[in-house]
Amino acid sequence: MTICVWLWTDINRELKGYKITNALITTTRAWRWALTFVSISFLVHGFQDFSCLNSINSSECLKWSEPSKNLSQIINQLFNFLFGTNFTEPIAKFIGLFALLIYLIGLFQWCIIKLPRSGRNSSFSNDGEY
């Protein structure tokens, strides 16, 4: 996936039309580098725990089967700050399922309406070449 992000011809062609200081180019580069860093990090951690491929239930592999406790605490504090409420498991399920529903509605709208009309178009350029 990381290699595809860097070699994505539609995006590369589109970005050639902008100046180097454009926010779109900066955002795309930040996205590419962030994804590259995360992918390399997961690759390194995966090789360190290569034995978990055969025995996921061993004591060394518990960190792969448990959710991140630090991330849960950060999200709890964030929601407490934003909404003034405690972030409990039912609220997390509701927010996650609601976000998934919104995502799926957008994906179906794109697949059924936008894709047949315009094809795979990034809609960034105005010249109609893509």
| pLDDT tens per residue, range 18-36 | 887 888 888 888 989 999 9
Domain boundary among the residues 66, 85, 112 is at 66
Closest C-alpha to 75, from 58, 99, 55: 99
| pLDDT tens per residue, range 62-81 | 777 676 667 777 777 887 77
Is the pTM for the entire model greater than 0.85? no
If asked whether residues 22 and 55 sit together in one domain, one would say yes
Give the pLDDT of residue 130: 40
> Domain span at residue 72?
67-130
Task: Classify burial at 63, counting beta carbons within 10 Å of its beta carbon; exposed 0-12, middle 13-18, buried 19 or more.
Answer: exposed
Give the pLDDT of residue 100: 95
Round to whole Å and give the CA distance between 121 and 23. 19
Domain boundary among the residues 66, 92, 116 is at 66
